[in-house]
Structure 1
Amino acid sequence: MEVSYREEGVASAASSVAGRLVADGVPARLAGGDPTLWGEDAEAEAAVRLGWLTLPRSSRELLPALGELAARTRAAGLTNVVLAGMGGSSLAAEIICATGDVPLTVLDTTDPGQVRRALTDRLESTVVVVASKSGSTVETDCHLRIYQRLFADAGLDPAGRVVVVTDPGSPLEQLAADGGHELVLAPPDVGGRYSALSAFGLVPAALAGADVAGLLDEAAEVLPLLSLDTGNPGLDLGAALGGAALAGRDKLLLEDQLSPIFGLPDWIEQLVAESTGKQGRGILPVVGADPNRSGDELVVAIESDVGDVRVDGPLGAQFLVWEYATAVAGLLLEVDPFDQPQVAESKENTTALLALPDLPTGAPAFTDGPVEVYGAATAKDLPGLFAELLHAIPGDGYLAIMAYLDRLAAFDAPVPEGADFEQMTDAWMMADPLTLRTLLALRTDRPVTFGWGPRFLHSTGQYHKGGPQNGVFLQITGVVTEDVAVPGRPYSLGRLQLAQALGDLAALETRGRPAVRLHLTDRAAGVARLLAAAQEA
């Protein structure tokens, strides 16, 4: 595992703060799990959140049981592994499986269309991993209820088709006992976004067929380095992240195009944004963007020379080193890297909205074809609105696009008969809301981020509300034509999804930042109109 500085300013800033950290004994203290590092206010939280430092060794105890569980599920013909989890309970496993080229279906959404795709896929051979640290995550609760009813209606016993991963004492632990489900308890002293090498990352990956023992070996190899004052990749990376942020370079552009690890920036995004974005400070990760070479950017490349910092190493080591580096960056920014005080705000807003007879969507400011526009805007059409939002971004700010849509819907786009792969890719891109990020980024030198809702609420959602208040927010929702009922709950997935969007929008609006909601009355046509308008802006 190696971290190298490729730009003089980064090297200078990192060297300055690293010297201070070493003088304070931080490397050995952090590696030893000292909870006093982040100050008196953070000590109580840190004292029960540093178990990730020992996971490369302690998680090995899971391996025999995981091997037996994987063998039993395969012997029972349960080869379609579905992971129901949000944020830290899903991102690591998704990356482990994608990198290992083993199939895993991830449900980290309340979009009825995306959930329906999973429900109609090989039900008879499906095993569902239900993962929630608290045991009360609303999205995961919905997925579990829906699958339990679906299995029962199909005459399939849910007991052997659901595997529960949770903390001791959570509501899910009791549910697993009552339902006869396989239960794997995770260590309670590991926070969700630091749980990649715990049961949350390992259980679904092992069931899907990934080499989780090799992953732990990779992490264990780098572990002894994390107590060193020199040759410590975690210290080197943390000093670069924190030192650059203190020097004003607080936009972290993550580059991984040449890396054999698939999707690592998505995991880093949650880890860094949710850990550092609080008290008006933070580091904003930007995934999938080209550098603008503006003064507040830091480009970190995974296995590539294109960045200001290069990070090389296998996936297990990457997980551990980025966790350590993020804890160091939090120390330098003087924030608690283990809490998430603003995440609950949007959840509480959602709960309050769901209690109302009807969701208060309001009246649109204007309509542009299949797109209704809600919020304060002087523009009269979408190109004008996009220009207005881009103009509103402060010199040190960013634009965040938040799409509460089906992230797989673009693959339904029609492609020309006999199309080659390039033509198919072009067709998918022009049906993908994610393309909006690229088109708007071409029209500004400020960072443009993109998050799928409600997934991003468990990651950058904390930064949006707790970090620097210099964001401009563009939310996208869409009409639901085929909803999914949630057994035992007074709402459907479609109603929950819209309540989550409205709840988060309300949390953003209370901070006085520009925020608008675009509602697609026809999803496919609406996405096409958004992309066309972005090119006209």
Structure 2
Amino acid sequence: MKVSCREEGVASAAASFAGRLVADGVPARLAAGDPTLWGEDAEAGAPAGPGRAARPQALSRTSRELLPELGRLAERARAQGLTNVVLAGAGGSPAAAEVICDTDDVPLTVLDTTDPGQVLRALAEPPGATIVVVADAGGSALETGCLLRIYERHFTDAGIAPAERIVVVTGPGSPLERRARESGHQVVLSDPGAGGRAPALSAYTLVACALAGARVERLLDDADQVLQLLSLDIGNPGLDLGAALGGAALGGRDKLLLDDRLSAIAGLPGWIEELVAGSTGKRGRGILPVVGADPSRSGDELIVAIESDIGDVRVDGPLGAQFAVWEYAAAVAGLALDVDPADRPDEAGARDNTVALLDLPDLPTGAPAFTDGPVEVYGGVTAKDLPGLFAELLHTVPAGGYLSIMAYLDRLAAFDAPVPDRADFEQMTDAWMTADAATLRALLALRTDRPVTFGWGPRCLHSTGQYHKGGPQNGVFLLITGAVAEDVVIPGRPYTLGRLQLAQALGDLGAVETRGRPAVRLHLTDRAAGVAHLLAAAQEA
């Protein structure tokens, strides 16, 4: 595993900051799990999370101790012909599992969403071949609780005992553990030292990956190769990377540019985005990851590449080692910014808003400022059409700020777009991009020198959402919702998935607005037509 600072200014700042950390004995203390690095509050709080001071060697041991149990689960699933593995989770573990399974080229359905269309797509797979892993560290996430209820009913309706097909991964003593045991589900308990956050190499990720057929033991072997280096003062890749991130941020380069085009490991930048934003964005500080952006050389960017020569910092190593090093580096960057990476002080606001909204007879959507085709626009804007709105939002972004797009939609809907007969892969990709809400990021980024980020809701609530509320208050927010063509009933709840999804979006919007940040919501009355209309308008902005 190797971290190389390829730009002189970055190398100098990293060396200076790393020297101060070594003088304070930080590398060994961090590897040993010393919570006093983050002050008395952290020392007295809950067990250390991955971004704080969870001992990586100890976590590796507990993950390796899971291997026999994971082997038995996978063998039993294969014997029963359970080839469709679904991971229902929230936060970083679903993103990590996607990267692992994509790297090993094994199928895994990830549900960290409340979008009815995306959930219905997963439910359309044969229940007789399906096994579901419900992973929730704290045991109280809205998404996982609802998905558990939906799949319990799904299996029951198919004449299958849910206890035979649902595996629950949670923390010891959590509400989810009690419920799972009462229902007879298979339960896998996480390492208590992982706290309320799910490291990439913990049970929250590895159970589903093992069931899907990923090479989990090799992943841990790769991590072990680097874990022994993380207590060293010299030759410590986690320290080198964290010092580069933190030193650059202290010098004003607090926008972290990541791109799959600069990564030999597909999908890893998306997981890094969740880790770094959630770990550092608080107390008005933070490092903003920007995935998929072209460098603007505006002076506040740091480009990090995974096994690529294009960038200010290059990080080389296999996936298991990457996970371990980046989690350690996020903790080091937190020290630079004087924030506790394991703390998420602003994450609860949007969740509390959602719960309060769900108690109302009707969701308070308000009246649109104007309607442009299949798109309703909500918020205090002066524009009269979508091209004008996009121009207005981009003009509103302050120096040092950013535009964030958050889409509470089906992130797989673009793959339903029609493609030409006998289309090659490039033609199929073009068809998908023209139907993908995420394409809006690139189109708007062409029209500004400020960063434009994109995230799918509610996934973003558990990661970048912390940065949006707790980080530097210089963001401008564009939130997208859509009409629901076919909803999903949540057994035992007085609301549907569609209502929950909209409540989460409105709760997120409210949490941003209470901080005085400009925010606009676009509601697509027809999702497919609405996305096409947005992309066309962005090209006219």
Percent of residue pairs identical: 77
Match of 2:54 in 1: 51
Match of 1:292 in 2: 296
CA distance in 2, matches of 1:283, 1:43: 24
The code of the aligned residue for 1:424 comes to: M
Match of 1:481 in 2: 485
Q: How does 1:445-460 map to 2 (within 5 A)?
A: 445-460=449-464
Q: How does 1:51-70 map to 2 (within 5 A)?
A: 51-53=54-56, 54-70=58-74
CA distance in 2, matches of 1:236, 1:258: 19
Provide Cα deviations, 1:198-237, integer angstroms capped at 9, x if missing partner: 1011100000000111111111111111111111100000
Match of 1:29 in 2: 29
Q: Give the Å deviation of 1:193.
A: 4.5
Give the one of 98, 113, 117 matched to 2:117.
113
CA distance in 2, matches of 1:428, 1:339: 38
Give the one of 165, 174, 178 matched to 1:174.
178
Match of 2:8 in 1: 8
Q: Give the Å deviation of 1:425.
A: 1.0
CA distance in 2, matches of 1:193, 1:409: 29
Residue-pair matches, total: 537
Q: Give the Å deviation of 1:258.
A: 5.2
Secondary structure class of the residue paired with 2:76: helix
Q: Give the Å deviation of 1:40.
A: 2.3
Does residue 253 of structure 2 align to residue 249 of structure 1?
yes
Does residue 219 of structure 2 align to residue 215 of structure 1?
yes
Give the one of 347, 354, 358 matched to 1:350.
354
CA distance in 2, matches of 1:56, 1:196: 11
Q: Is the 8 A contact 1:130 1:140 kept in 2?
A: yes
Secondary structure class of the residue paired with 2:258: strand
Q: Give the Å deviation of 1:457.
A: 0.3
Secondary structure class of the residue paired with 1:150: helix
Q: How does 1:162-201 map to 2 (within 5 A)?
A: 162-191=166-195, 193-201=197-205
TM-score (normalised: structure 2) = 0.98
Match of 1:396 in 2: 400
Secondary structure class of the residue paired with 1:450: strand
The 1:92–1:179 alpha-carbon spacing in structure 2 relative to 1, beyond 3 Å, is: same
Q: Is the 8 A contact 1:282 1:463 kept in 2?
A: yes
The code of the aligned residue for 1:51 comes to: A
CA distance in 2, matches of 1:414, 1:359: 34
Does residue 506 of structure 2 align to residue 502 of structure 1?
yes
Q: Is the 8 A contact 2:88 2:132 kept in 1?
A: yes
The code of the aligned residue for 2:304 comes to: V
The 1:134–1:192 alpha-carbon spacing in structure 2 relative to 1, beyond 3 Å, is: closer
Q: Give the Å deviation of 1:257.
A: 2.2
CA distance in 2, matches of 1:534, 1:68: 51
Give the one of 99, 119, 122 matched to 2:103.
99
Provide Cα deviations, 1:231-288, integer angstroms capped at 9, x if missing partner: 1100000000000000000000013425442211111111111111000000001111
The 1:147–1:188 alpha-carbon spacing in structure 2 relative to 1, beyond 3 Å, is: same
Q: Is the 8 A contact 1:193 1:271 kept in 2?
A: no
Match of 1:38 in 2: 38
Structure 1 gap ranges (5+): none
Q: Give the Å deviation of 1:42.
A: 2.6
CA distance in 2, matches of 1:186, 1:338: 17
Secondary structure class of the residue paired with 1:106: strand
Q: Give the Å deviation of 1:141.
A: 0.8
CA distance in 2, matches of 1:254, 1:52: 27
Match of 2:20 in 1: 20
Q: How does 1:408-427 map to 2 (within 5 A)?
A: 408-427=412-431
Secondary structure class of the residue paired with 1:51: coil
The code of the aligned residue for 2:343 comes to: D
CA distance in 2, matches of 1:414, 1:202: 35
The 1:153–1:194 alpha-carbon spacing in structure 2 relative to 1, beyond 3 Å, is: closer
Q: Is the 8 A contact 1:402 1:450 kept in 2?
A: yes
Larger deviation, residues 46-55 vs 421-430:
46-55
Match of 1:440 in 2: 444
Provide Cα deviations, 1:103-160, integer angstroms capped at 9, x if missing partner: 0000010000000000011211000001101111111111111111111111111111
Give the one of 507, 514, 517 matched to 1:513.
517
CA distance in 1, matches of 2:526, 2:62: 50
The code of the aligned residue for 2:332 comes to: V
Provide Cα deviations, 1:305-337, integer angstroms capped at 9, x if missing partner: 111000000111111100111101101100011
Q: Give the Å deviation of 1:481.
A: 1.4
Secondary structure class of the residue paired with 2:265: coil
Does residue 242 of structure 2 align to residue 231 of structure 1?
no
Match of 2:163 in 1: 159
The code of the aligned residue for 1:32 comes to: A
CA distance in 2, matches of 1:67, 1:127: 15
The 1:169–1:34 alpha-carbon spacing in structure 2 relative to 1, beyond 3 Å, is: same
Root-mean-square deviation (Å): 1.1
CA distance in 2, matches of 1:433, 1:462: 22
Q: Is the 8 A contact 1:148 1:158 kept in 2?
A: yes
TM-score (normalised: structure 1) = 0.98
CA distance in 2, matches of 1:111, 1:401: 17
Give the one of 309, 328, 331 matched to 1:327.
331
Larger deviation, residues 456-465 vs 252-261:
252-261
Does residue 139 of structure 2 align to residue 138 of structure 1?
no
Give the one of 282, 302, 305 matched to 1:301.
305
The code of the aligned residue for 1:34 comes to: D
Q: Give the Å deviation of 1:192.
A: 5.1
The code of the aligned residue for 1:26 comes to: V
Secondary structure class of the residue paired with 2:228: helix
Q: Is the 8 A contact 1:56 1:217 kept in 2?
A: no
Q: Is the 8 A contact 1:371 1:521 kept in 2?
A: yes
Q: Is the 8 A contact 1:301 1:310 kept in 2?
A: yes
The 1:289–1:46 alpha-carbon spacing in structure 2 relative to 1, beyond 3 Å, is: farther
